[in-house]
Amino acid sequence: MLKVGPRLLHSIRFRVLMSKYWIIKSSILEAIMCGIIGYSGPRKTSTVLLEGLRRLEYRGYDSAGIAVGGKSCTDGKLQVVKEVGKISALRAAMPADIDGSWGIGHTRWATHGGVTHANAHPHIDNSGKIAVVHNGIIENHTALKTMLQKKGCVFRTETDSEVIPHLIAQYYKGDLAEAVKAAIQNLEGTYGIACIHLDEPGRIVGARNGSPLIVGVGVGEMFLASDITAMVAYTDKVVYLNDGELVDIDEHSYSIIGKDEQKVERTTNQITWELGSIEKGDYPCHMEKEIFEQPESIARALSGRIDAENATAKLGGLNLDRSRLLNVGRVKIIAAGTSWHAGLVGSYLLEQVARIPAQAELASEIRYRNPVVERDSLWFAVSQSGETADSLFAMREVQRKGATVLGICNVVGSTIARESDGGIYVHSGPEIAVASTKAFTSQLAAFYLFTLLSARMRNMSREEGIHFAGALQSVPGMVAETLKARDHVQRIAKKYCRAKDFLFLGRGILYPIALEGALKLKEISYIHAEGCSAGEMKHGPIALISPEVPSVFLVSDDYLREKTISNIREIKARGGPVIVVGVEGDTETAALADEFIPVPKTDPRFYPFSMVVPLQLFAYFCALELGRDVDQPRNLAKSVTVE
Ligand code: M6R
């Protein structure tokens, strides 16, 4: 039996510290951001697990596996089925006679190498009676592995996660929860885990530190998963776990043990998502469905939040009183990827309209920059999933320095939503496609609302407020109108999708939209694309221009229009094909461009909503034409829960 006393723990930590380089390196090799599920109840367990994994597949799709206990475990071991590839491969490999009555499952995303059958989860101890699925990184796995090998444990995989079942086995004395509690004391890093033991039918023990874990409460059945989507088909009642907590589940009950080893009482949350919202319906892909849902999703983000009478916005969840709002001297926005682009639009808008200095920063950068937190600054953490590690850790870092952080999140109850000081839910509904679309436009809506509220408390007149609120209210209709360009955009995509490189160019508030257009194209079509400020083009990117490199321009009808047209002429003069997303009726730009995609005329500050739509469609149709897996592009995962 392993005895891990304080001295051994200290020495393991010391070795971790001394070999940090290796640990970081091996962590990257084995970095996993995955989906996990556990089920205990009367249904056919393998079916529930497979169904849950299918819905979690967007979190990772390198390999998948399940472990079940029950009648089909005839050799004194849990039955484990794993397969490299997608859930469909696992489904095909499932033995017909599998008959478990409780179990766990996992879908894996690995950054480099290691996509093998052996490395697929669940991982088991040497007796074959303990199985574990893990989402996160065990940073001290090298030291733990060495120690466990000395105790006689035989390792069969290259993963960091495999130390967990071996550790649990060392502590196991007939009570899985006690063994897990002792085992996790040894773990450094992040984890969301679910564990089962063959000798304890129906019992699942979970623990979380830095990776999400949620209990699904059914009638005579219980679920444990990294994401609500895995269980929404079976229950609409969930309980969120916090870092440092452990949960002990059987088919009838759950109990949560806190960091202080005391039982935690927590109320259940009602989920309002409907099953249909996570299905593709009549669409071939989630991404297309989500693009076309935008008129409704934006309307939901705005719903009940515009105070027409006072020409301002009502944002109930900010948890900031009037004087605190009035005293905001600077806004700082932290986010990653598409959410960062929404933050960039927000920063332009807040400065331009509310006259509050604002900056959007990459979360992965700010965390390590020892950021300055000014006393009058207000911070936003923007995240669709609310689980992005870079954004979450950056948020915690600035909170540590005294920042007030508001979350702009889609996933209700997500970690950022819970740990932020207040915030705005964007209510896009579940976004399943890896490429974010409807969450982006709803994040924009949140920033427009906050800007209206802030501006009306400062410089904006009632008349201007009425105009701004009216324009905001007309956004869903404007986006619906823009979506009518679907077939036109598809024809353009077919014509240009064989190009190897694209430039996306915009100025002012449309610059972030150019960045977003380029990101969408590269992530799902794998075509190289660069987003540039059109003004910056002549400082370097113009060297890329040739007849083989198309440029996609965003042309507003504001004070920057003429300058953008000059930039188009510079490209045309060098033989580069030009696709323009511009304002309907702009015949001059249309005549200059090789292709022209019009959007309805509006207040120029609102073009980010409509102009991003043709770019989403363009990326989508290019990817489709090139035969890409649109919803699950290679190498990506929906929620990036590791750094
Ligand atoms: O869940 P988050 O909004 O925090 O995710 C941030 C990025 O990982 C995400 O926007 C990513 O860039 C998308 N795949 C873009 O489509």
Q: Which two tokens stand for residue 139?
A: 């940073």
Domain ranges of the chain: 6-19+34-271, 276-473, 483-635
The pTM is what? 0.78
The 8-class DSSP code of residue 614 comes to: H
Q: Provide mean pLDDT across the span 231-256.
A: 94
pLDDT per residue as tens digits for the range 581-605: 999 999 999 999 999 999 999 999 9
pLDDT at 276 over 90: no
pLDDT at 277 over 80: no
Q: Which two tokens stand for residue 80?
A: 């484990």
Three-state SS sequence of 360-400: EEEHHHHCCCCCCCCCCEEEEEEECCCCCHHHHHHHHHHHH
Kindly report the protein residue whose alpha carbon is nearest to atom 12 of ligand 1. 337
pLDDT per residue as tens digits for the range 380-397: 999 999 999 999 999 999
pLDDT per residue as tens digits for the range 521-564: 999 999 999 999 998 988 988 889 899 999 999 999 999 999 99
Rounded distance, CA 434 to CA 447, Å?
A: 23
Q: Name the residue among 431, 612, 620, 597 with its Cα closest to residue 521.
A: 620
CA of 45 to the centre of ligand 1 (A): 32
Rounded distance, CA 477 to CA 388, Å?
A: 31
Q: Do the beta carbons of residue 216 and residue 234 sit within 8 Å?
A: yes
Q: Provide mean pLDDT across the span 195-217.
A: 95
CA of 440 to the centre of ligand 1 (A): 9
pLDDT at 11 over 60: no
Which pairs from 285-290 meet CB under 8 Å and 24+ separation?
285/433, 285/620, 285/624, 285/630, 285/631, 286/432, 286/433, 286/631, 287/433, 287/435, 287/437, 287/524, 287/620, 287/630, 287/631, 288/620, 288/630, 290/431, 290/432, 290/433, 290/437, 290/438
Percent of all residues in the chain with a pLDDT value above 90, rounded to a whole number: 76
pLDDT per residue as tens digits for the range 623-632: 999 999 998 8
pLDDT at 640: 77
pLDDT at 297: 95
From the alpha carbon of 411, which atom of ligand 1 is closest?
1
From the alpha carbon of 638, which atom of ligand 1 is closest?
14
pLDDT at 115: 80
Q: Do domains 6-19+34-271 and 276-473 have the same CATH topology?
A: no
pLDDT at 192: 92
pLDDT per residue as tens digits for the range 334-344: 999 999 999 99
CA of 437 to the centre of ligand 1 (A): 10
Rounded distance, CA 493 to CA 520, Å?
A: 13
Q: Which two tokens stand for residue 44?
A: 């056919």
Instruction: Out of 2-6, 62-66, 610-614, give the one with best mean pLDDT.
Output: 610-614
Rounded distance, CA 342 to CA 322, Å?
A: 25
pLDDT at 186: 95
Kindly report the protein residue whose alpha carbon is nearest to atom 4 of ligand 1. 383
Question: What are the start-end ranges of the H helices in 154-267?
Answer: 163-171, 176-184
pLDDT band with cut points at 50, 70 and 90 for residue 33: low
From the alpha carbon of 520, which atom of ligand 1 is closest?
16
Name the 3-class secondary structure at 276. Answer: helix
Please state the length of the chain.
643
Evaluate: CB of 142 within 6 angstroms of ligand 1. no
Q: Is 174 left (phi over 0), alpha (psi -120 to 50) or beta?
A: left
Beta strands per DSSP E along 143-230? 189-197, 204-209, 214-217, 222-225
Q: Provide mean pLDDT across the span 176-186.
A: 96
Task: Name the superfamily (CATH) of residues 276-473.
Answer: Glucose-6-phosphate isomerase like protein; domain 1 (3.40.50.10490)
CATH 3.20.20.70 fits 6-19+34-271, yes or no: no
For the chain, the helix, strand and coil percentages under 3-state DSSP, each to the nearest 5: 40, 20, 35
Q: Provide mean pLDDT across the span 212-216.
A: 93
pLDDT at 156: 93
> Comparing 1-10, 228-237, 307-316, 577-586, which segment has the lowest mean pLDDT?
1-10
Q: What does each C-alpha distance from 135 to 59, 196, 243, 424, 598 come to in angstroms?
A: 10, 16, 13, 27, 45
pLDDT band with cut points at 50, 70 and 90 for residue 439: very high
Q: Provide mean pLDDT across the span 233-249.
A: 94
pLDDT at 80 over 80: yes
Q: Please confirm, yes or no, whether 73 is among the known catalytic residues.
A: no
Question: Average model confidence (pLDDT) for the chain?
Answer: 90
CA of 185 to the centre of ligand 1 (A): 32
pLDDT band with cut points at 50, 70 and 90 for residue 174: very high
Rounded distance, CA 308 to CA 273, Å?
A: 29
CA of 361 to the centre of ligand 1 (A): 14
Residue 634: CB atoms within 10 Å: 10
pLDDT per residue as tens digits for the range 460-493: 999 999 999 999 999 999 999 999 999 999 999 9
Q: Provide mean pLDDT across the span 16-22.
A: 27
Q: What does each C-alpha distance from 504 to 17, 148, 358, 553 come to in angstroms?
A: 44, 53, 24, 6
Catalytic residue among 25, 34, 150, 181: 34
pLDDT at 163 over 60: yes
Q: Do the beta carbons of residue 345 and residue 447 sit within 8 Å?
A: yes
Evaluate: CB of 441 within 6 angstroms of ligand 1. no
Q: Please confirm, yes or no, whether 195 is among the known catalytic residues.
A: no
Q: Do the beta carbons of residue 373 and residue 347 sit within 8 Å?
A: no
Evaluate: CB of 339 within 6 angstroms of ligand 1. yes
The CATH number for 483-635, chosen from 3.20.20.70, 3.40.50.10490, 2.60.40.10, 3.40.50.1400, is 3.40.50.10490
pLDDT at 14: 29
Evaluate: CB of 383 within 6 angstroms of ligand 1. yes
Kindly report the protein residue whose alpha carbon is nearest to atom 7 of ligand 1. 337
99 or 534: which leads in pLDDT: 534
pLDDT at 113 over 70: no
